[in-house]
Structure 1
Amino acid sequence: MSSLRLHILLVHFLCCVFASSFITINPLVFGLAACRPDQIQALLQFKNEFESDGCNLNDYFHGVTCDNTTGAVTKLHLPNGCLTGVIKSNSILFSLRHLRHLNLSHNNFTSSSSLPSGFSNLNKLEVLSLSSNGFQGQVPFSFSNLTKLSQFDLSHNDLTGGFQLVQNLTKLSTLDLSYNHFSGTIPSSLLLTLPLLSHLDLRGNYLTGSIEVPSSPSSRLEHLFLGHNHFDGQILEPISKLTTLKELVLSFINVSYPIDLRDFSSLKSLLNLELSGNILSATTSLISGSDVPPNLYRLMMKGCNINEFPKFLKTLQNLERLDLSDNQIKGKVPEWLWSLPRLSIVSLNNNSFNDFDGSLHKSSVTMLDLSFNNFTGSLPDPPLSIKLFLASRNSFTGNIPLSTCDRSYLDALDLSYNNFSGAIPQCLSKFKILNLRKNNLHGIIPNAFSSSSPLQTLDVGYNRISGQLPSSLVNCSSLRFLSVDHNNIKDLFPFWLKVLPDLQVLTLSSNTFHGPISPPQGPLGFPELRILDLSDNKFTGSLSPDYFVNWSGSSSNKMYGDGEMYMGDYTNDLYSYFYGLDLQYKGLNMENKMVNTFYTAIDFSGNNFSGQIPESIGEIPQELGALSFLSYINVSYNQLKGEIPKGTQISGQPESSFEGNAGLCGIPLQESCFGTSEPPTQWEKQVDDEEEGEVLNWRGVAIGYWPGLLFGLAIGYVIAPEWLVLIIGLNKGINR
């Protein structure tokens, strides 16, 4: 019987055994035709050692390559998140001794897992990537047996120890140990024993001391990443000997002395230099172009205590990306900056700039952040090639320039928190992100949204806009965030927006919306809605008992995929744009904060809801008591009646959330529904105290950069559990 016939028979057998999942595998399509039957069986057995329900078998086998001659597996590259569990020391994986390429990165191995020594059995490995798996403890010494490794990646785990683990790996060209807990100094023997090393990433560890470099280095090192460590010795002078470097990342190295840019003058091949989070020498603004590497295309000096615009930048004719944010630079932005021929991404936010010396419109810049400065007067015409333009938190005045409509590539425009006046531009349909919040704009929102509109975010809150919501918004099928709060809009509740499949945030507060908010029949709709703010309008009528029946689905996080913490736009490779909301919780005001993806809120306060139980809003729908993600409810100061719904999320609320409703009874109120008064228990008081403490643990952070250029709308965020805020009283959870 031929080997091919035997192979096909085995595939048929496996299809019967694993019919529910394996039946779609075509070995000829997925590169398995060259694999021996025992190798396919070993791969299936390895997968079955874990929970892998979410792992598509087609994708699993798509990362498999076998040798055409021997039929042995030589490459295994698992899809992200494929396996959950612990890699055991006797795993079948370690029997695949012909593996040369193994990538198990970004899986869900148990956080307490240590690295099994069995990996050392795979001594033919040339590429090994185990990043982002939560491995803990020291790397087994037996890993030093993997002497054929050229690429070794253990990044983003919780591993400890020093550099003994790589002392025998003399063929390494790429070594990534970043974001672990490795400690100690970097020995000079590292470069001597690894002569082929070109890429070394040690960021985010606990490295101390200085860096030792051989007196006569013959290094091939081109990419060196040392940021976010705790060096307390001299590291710049040794680094200056590594003249082959093209990329050097020293952000937040926590040295106790100022960094002098002239220390890098010997690195003539350097293209990328990142120094953010360090203090630069006071002479930074005075040094000449000959004192810095001449071919830099990327220079990051965020938060470096710079107080004068660096003049040496004028000589960097290859510069493409520049970050001078979070410094103390005053005065005008020099005209020569916009003449740099390749300049593309510029961040000047959070300084004290007040004007421009010359115009911007002929610049090659495509992304520009001018936020959080002291600019006044008219907004300059943006560069012709601009794609993202952020100018929030300044004092710009006048009309929004018509040139913003003429920029054919511009899809993200943030002019919030300025003093612009006049009408909203007619071209708003062209934008993907448009934020005009807190200006003095008037007139109507143009009814000009076409079916091809890419709009995802529209915020025109806190202006003087009148009229109605434009019905053409229904064409914006990608719309996620819509805020028109604190204006003069007079309209009915926009039930028609429920056809938008991705709408998450709808804030209509402090306008003159009126009429009922219940659809003619059934629940509200809006399948992805997470935040609904209708406060301070003139809505009337009642809610049907099943009004909130769909809100249990709002606790899902499928919109953002894996690992995204905040609501926003993550579709661009170079920036992420976060939604900002004004939040108020138990008297704590938080203006324009980034919002956790699990955050869910409803505010119906300050309207004219009326009626009788069970038809009216006076009956709190009982399904709210069963919502496991409900963390805070406030229905104070209404005309509500009946028993407060039972449930751990409801009964754990403070008494103040229900006061001012003569007809309400039940826990946590003292009024019993059986005609007696009961004092609050010590447990109820404790819950209230704990919630107050939880809110005070919210923290603020600055706009960040990772891993490319990360622009953000807000300067803070809310860390919250999976929760829902319901407010139908005087106190507000969202105060727009």
Structure 2
Amino acid sequence: MKFFGLPLTLLLYMAFLATSCNEQEKSCLLQFLAGILPEDGNTMSWRDGSGTDCCKWEGITCNESGSIIEISLASRSLEGSISPALGKLTGLLRLNLSYNSLSGGLPSELISSGSITVLDVSFNRLSGVLPKPHPSILEQPLQALNISSNLFTGQFPSTLWERTRNPVAINASNNSFNGLMPSSFCISSSSFAVLDFSFNKFSGSIPASLGECSALRVLKAGYNNLSGLLPDELFNATSLEYLSFPSNGLHGLLDDAHIMNIRKLVNLDLGGNTLNGKIPDSIGQLKRLEELRLNNNNMSGELQKINFYKLPNLKALDLLYNNFTGTVPESIYSCVNLIALRLSGNNLHGQVSPGIGNLKSLVFLSLGANNFTNITNTLQVLKNCRNLTFLLIGTNFRADCSLSGEIPLWLSKLQNLEMLFLNRNRLNGPIPAWIKNLNSLFCLDIYSNNLGGELPAALMGVFELPFYIGSFQYRITSTFPKTLDFSDNNLTGVIPQEIDQLKSLEKLNFSFNSLSGEIPQQLSSLTNLQQLDLSSNHLTGAIPLALNNLHFLSQFNVSHNDLEGTIPIGGQLSTFPSSSFDGNPKLCGIMVDKLCGSAEAPPFSVHSTAQTVKRVVFAIAFGVFFGVGVLSDQIVLSRYFG
């Protein structure tokens, strides 16, 4: 009621004072701006509007008193250094400069701030050692620190959190911190919920004191140089949901009693260590478990004895490269939410059970390098897994178990199929036209079979091998080359001109067939092509000059055909050895050391018969494919296994 006696102008003045930042805080912002180059459109407005209220500047938030409480300038393409002046903003609570290109060090004024509770400078180029809090700071309010994906080095300061009120989270992943992993996190407070130190250079053992972090939900320190045992005390952190130590040097056993202490666990990743012993029976007590990764260890035991019935939420199981024996347990087929299953590289035997058809969500299945039998039955039962996208079952079945007959019709129903490997079998008949309807397919490999007939033009027109660059869903699989490999079959006829519609194709192999006619000019439209092999056919005519425009071409082979004329020079084809053109006596040019239009030519000899060459190339191709097969397993599965 007393305000009613005040003049209106005085009330407006008081309101203005309550919402405007002061000159000192504005000066701090402009000092920060002075170190940023180039200025983006948002921060440029700060300088242009230097006479206006800085509380209204882009990315600035003030409280009712006009004090700056938040600066949020993430993903603004900022370059330059972070000014220490930001530490003088006494009311600043949250500072977010993530996803920029800032360099230099992290000012100690920010670490020792008496107000900042959340500091996020992740995904920049900051370097140097992480500053320690100023000795005069008795208590600091910092609760969450994200410095991940920078270039920090040196030891992580163990005193950083000893005087913190209620610390919650720290993410220091993807840097170059070294020395021992910090051990003082929960000395003064047990409130930490998230600790991520993965992708650094920490060594030594896992601190036993981490078991005192009773509120800890996420603990990640994979891809370091840690060694020793998993400390017993660690399992006292009963709130753990995510425990991840992959690719270190840990050894020892997984204890039954300890595993039971962390029943809230959702993700357990201990792959890439030297753990031994069996999978604890108590693993079935982790009813919330969604991902279990124990790949690349020395673990053993009979797999069929593990009870998976009590793991209804399991989505990913990775036991790659261990020493497990026995058969695949029937209980695993009760995990109806399973998306990815990798059992390759063990000593498993027997047949794949029809029960696998219960895994309706299964997308990735890798069973290779075991001793399974009956491939025909395996393919029959797998046809019920309609979402199966990646199937890796090689190096299981002996030659007398190879697939025979035509390419199975039921494959046409796998509309989500992205990669199809049917190589090195005894398939015959034509290439079915229904393959054109597999719209997600980007890798088709059916080399070394007995397939015959002509290359269907319709397949070229519809089968466009979609290019998934820029799509998060396919960010991993897009690194695998878009492939069409029909080599070592009995295909006849000409190469269809419609092949120019396969714009994203990177690898094309029609070698060791009976194709005839000329090399189509349309191949020059495949500008993403990196490998082209048309060798050991009956192709005639000249090599198209336009193939010189395939600037990404790194492998090229047209040897052992009936080609003639001058080999194009002055472009990409000039970079390949003479062996790429061998076995075409009518070809001439500097690549084969034979002058065009000359009756005399230097002696030219073919050092092996076509049959011998075919055997050698086949042996090389087998070796290359085996290596690529293992590599593809690693690339593709990373989409589902971290």
- Which structure shows the bigger proportion of residues in helix conformation? 2
| Counterparts of residues 537-686 of structure 1 (less than 5 Å) | 537-544=513-520, 546-552=521-527, 554=528, 600-610=530-540, 616=541, 619-673=542-596
Contact in 2 for aligned 1:261/1:291 (Cα 8 Å): no
Aligned residue identity for 1:664: L
Does the C-alpha gap of structure 1 residues 134 and 251 become closer, same or farther in structure 2, counting only changes over 3 Å?
same
Does the C-alpha gap of structure 1 residues 129 and 707 become closer, same or farther in structure 2, counting only changes over 3 Å?
farther
3-state SS in 1 of match to 2:237: coil
Does the C-alpha gap of structure 1 residues 198 and 236 become closer, same or farther in structure 2, counting only changes over 3 Å?
same
| Counterparts of residues 133-152 of structure 1 (less than 5 Å) | 133-141=100-108, 143=110, 149-152=116-119
The answer to whether 1:249 aligns with 2:220 is yes
Instruction: Identify the residue that residue 453 of structure 2 maps to in structure 1.
Output: 491
Asked which structure has the greater CA Rg, the reply is 2
- Counterpart Cα distance in 1 of 2:424 and 2:251: 43
- Cα-to-partner distance string for 1:364-395 (whole Å, 9 max, x where unaligned): 45032112222222113327235133222322
- Cα-to-partner distance string for 1:331-368 (whole Å, 9 max, x where unaligned): 41143431233433211111122323741332345032
Instruction: Identify the residue that residue 155 of structure 1 maps to in structure 2.
Output: 122
Contact in 1 for aligned 2:178/2:203 (Cα 8 Å): no
Aligned residue identity for 1:607: N
3-state SS in 2 of match to 1:466: strand
- Counterpart Cα distance in 2 of 1:304 and 1:396: 26
| Counterparts of residues 506-525 of structure 1 (less than 5 Å) | 506-519=484-497, 524-525=500-501
| Counterparts of residues 275-290 of structure 1 (less than 5 Å) | 275-282=245-252, 284-286=253-255, 288-289=257-258
Instruction: Identify the residue that residue 206 of structure 1 maps to in structure 2.
Output: 177
Equivalent position to 1:473, from 414, 422, 435 = 435
The answer to whether 1:464 aligns with 2:445 is no
Aligned residue identity for 1:319: L
Aligned residue identity for 1:199: A
Post-superposition shift, 1:645? 1.8
3-state SS in 1 of match to 2:435: helix
- Counterpart Cα distance in 2 of 1:280 and 1:125: 42
Post-superposition shift, 1:216? 4.2
- Cα-to-partner distance string for 1:397-447 (whole Å, 9 max, x where unaligned): 11126443444655544333332899xxxxxxxxxxxxxxxx611222244
| Counterparts of residues 389-400 of structure 1 (less than 5 Å) | 389-398=365-374, 399-400=377-378
Contact in 2 for aligned 1:341/1:364 (Cα 8 Å): no
Aligned residue identity for 2:464: P
Post-superposition shift, 1:232? 4.1
The answer to whether 1:526 aligns with 2:496 is no
3-state SS in 2 of match to 1:265: helix
Instruction: Identify the residue that residue 568 of structure 1 maps to in structure 2.
Output: none
Contact in 1 for aligned 2:451/2:491 (Cα 8 Å): yes
The answer to whether 1:505 aligns with 2:472 is no
Does the C-alpha gap of structure 1 residues 128 and 623 become closer, same or farther in structure 2, counting only changes over 3 Å?
farther
Does the C-alpha gap of structure 1 residues 500 and 128 become closer, same or farther in structure 2, counting only changes over 3 Å?
farther
Post-superposition shift, 1:530? 2.0
Contact in 1 for aligned 2:241/2:266 (Cα 8 Å): yes
TM-score w.r.t. structure 1 length? Answer: 0.64
3-state SS in 2 of match to 1:240: helix
Contact in 2 for aligned 1:170/1:196 (Cα 8 Å): no
Contact in 1 for aligned 2:534/2:558 (Cα 8 Å): no
The answer to whether 1:104 aligns with 2:80 is no
Post-superposition shift, 1:208? 1.4
Contact in 2 for aligned 1:243/1:267 (Cα 8 Å): yes
Post-superposition shift, 1:313? 2.5
Instruction: Identify the residue that residue 575 of structure 1 maps to in structure 2.
Output: none
Contact in 1 for aligned 2:70/2:93 (Cα 8 Å): yes
Equivalent position to 1:361, from 325, 333, 340 = 333
Instruction: Identify the residue that residue 606 of structure 2 maps to in structure 1.
Output: none
Does the C-alpha gap of structure 1 residues 232 and 115 become closer, same or farther in structure 2, counting only changes over 3 Å?
same
Equivalent position to 1:387, from 356, 362, 370 = 362
- Counterpart Cα distance in 2 of 1:622 and 1:348: 51
Aligned residue identity for 1:536: F
In structure 1, list runs of 5 or more residues that go unmatched.
1-41, 58-68, 78-96, 423-438, 556-599, 611-615, 679-694, 713-736
Instruction: Identify the residue that residue 300 of structure 1 maps to in structure 2.
Output: 269
Contact in 1 for aligned 2:531/2:556 (Cα 8 Å): no
- Cα-to-partner distance string for 1:466-491 (whole Å, 9 max, x where unaligned): 22222222222222222222112212
Instruction: Identify the residue that residue 148 of structure 2 maps to in structure 1.
Output: 178
Post-superposition shift, 1:326? 0.7
The answer to whether 1:115 aligns with 2:81 is yes
In structure 2, list runs of 5 or more residues that go unmatched.
1-29, 43-52, 62-66, 467-481, 603-623
- Counterpart Cα distance in 2 of 1:365 and 1:637: 52
Percent identity between matched residues is: 24
Contact in 2 for aligned 1:157/1:179 (Cα 8 Å): yes
Contact in 2 for aligned 1:250/1:274 (Cα 8 Å): yes
- Counterpart Cα distance in 2 of 1:290 and 1:539: 61
The answer to whether 1:237 aligns with 2:203 is no
3-state SS in 2 of match to 1:260: coil
- Counterpart Cα distance in 1 of 2:114 and 2:180: 29
Contact in 2 for aligned 1:186/1:212 (Cα 8 Å): no
Aligned residue identity for 1:710: Y
The answer to whether 1:272 aligns with 2:242 is yes
Equivalent position to 1:453, from 397, 415, 418 = 415
Equivalent position to 2:351, from 378, 381, 397 = 378
Aligned residue identity for 2:233: D
3-state SS in 2 of match to 1:379: coil
Instruction: Identify the residue that residue 337 of structure 1 maps to in structure 2.
Output: 307
Post-superposition shift, 1:264? 0.7
Question: What root-mean-square deviation, in Å, do the aligned CA atoms of Structure 1 and Structure 2 show?
Answer: 4.2
Post-superposition shift, 1:133? 4.4
- Counterpart Cα distance in 2 of 1:215 and 1:543: 70
Instruction: Identify the residue that residue 56 of structure 2 maps to in structure 1.
Output: 72
Does the C-alpha gap of structure 1 residues 645 and 705 become closer, same or farther in structure 2, counting only changes over 3 Å?
closer
- Counterpart Cα distance in 2 of 1:707 and 1:413: 10
The answer to whether 1:414 aligns with 2:392 is yes
3-state SS in 2 of match to 1:382: helix
Aligned residue identity for 1:161: G
- Cα-to-partner distance string for 1:259-312 (whole Å, 9 max, x where unaligned): 234131321211211122234443x24552477534322211112212321324
How many pairs does the alignment contain?
541
- Counterpart Cα distance in 1 of 2:166 and 2:488: 65
Does the C-alpha gap of structure 1 residues 289 and 340 become closer, same or farther in structure 2, counting only changes over 3 Å?
farther
Post-superposition shift, 1:173? 3.2
TM-score w.r.t. structure 2 length? Answer: 0.72
Which is further off, 262-271 or 178-187? 178-187
- Counterpart Cα distance in 1 of 2:547 and 2:306: 60
- Cα-to-partner distance string for 1:101-123 (whole Å, 9 max, x where unaligned): 52433x767xxx54353983995
- Counterpart Cα distance in 1 of 2:101 and 2:395: 42
- Counterpart Cα distance in 2 of 1:658 and 1:408: 45
Does the C-alpha gap of structure 1 residues 674 and 408 become closer, same or farther in structure 2, counting only changes over 3 Å?
closer
Aligned residue identity for 1:621: P
- Counterpart Cα distance in 1 of 2:351 and 2:414: 31
Aligned residue identity for 1:620: I
3-state SS in 1 of match to 2:155: strand
